């Protein structure tokens, strides 16, 4: 939770630090955000009192971490700017299902 709070400060969303801590939002929770339904996303936004623009910023930063973790050719590495609480989860997921995610990212581009 502390790493998430520090990361929020780095991406200029530090005003949500207390709300995230109170709601137990950790790295694994943020990683699973991409699989949330619309209702779950709206519930998360209401619970943390987030503005839509700030939620979009949060999602873009999470995407940057995921992409950075998948970019290594031979080895998935933690990007220097990613807090360990998030990048460890993304690296683990990337190692488990690397090829299909890389193909998916290429199709999205």
pLDDT band at 89 (very low <50, low <70, confident <90, very high): low
Higher pLDDT, 87 or 11: 11
Q: Give, in order, the Cα–Cα distances in Å from 84 to each of 10, 42, 77, 80.
A: 14, 27, 11, 9
Identify the pLDDT of residue 64: 84
Give me the pLDDT at residue 14, please.
93
Would you state the pLDDT for residue 105? Answer: 46
pLDDT at 32: 86
Q: Residue 86's pLDDT is what?
A: 63
Find, among 79, 96, 69, 72, the residue nearest to 7 by Cα. 79
pLDDT at 94: 63
Whose CA is closest to 58, among 1, 102, 17, 107?
17
Domain boundaries, the chain: 4-103
1-58 pLDDT tens trace? 778 888 899 899 999 999 999 999 988 888 888 888 889 999 999 999 999 999 999 9
Predicted TM-score of the model (pTM): 0.64
Name the band, by pLDDT with cuts 50, 70 and 90, for residue 109: very low
């Amino acid at each position: 939770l502390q790493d998430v709070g520090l990361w929020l400060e780095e991406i200029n969303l530090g005003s949500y630090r207390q709300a995230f801590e109170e709601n137990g939002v950790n790295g694994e929770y943020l990683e699973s955000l991409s699989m949330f339904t619309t209702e779950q996303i709206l519930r998360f936004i209401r619970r943390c009192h987030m503005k839509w623009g700030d939620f979009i910023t949060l999602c873009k930063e999470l995407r940057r971490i995921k992409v950075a973790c998948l970019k290594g050719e031979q080895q998935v590495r933690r990007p220097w700017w990613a807090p360990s609480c998030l990048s460890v989860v993304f690296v683990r997921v990337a190692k488990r299902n690397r090829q299909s995610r890389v193909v998916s990212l290429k199709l999205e581009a």
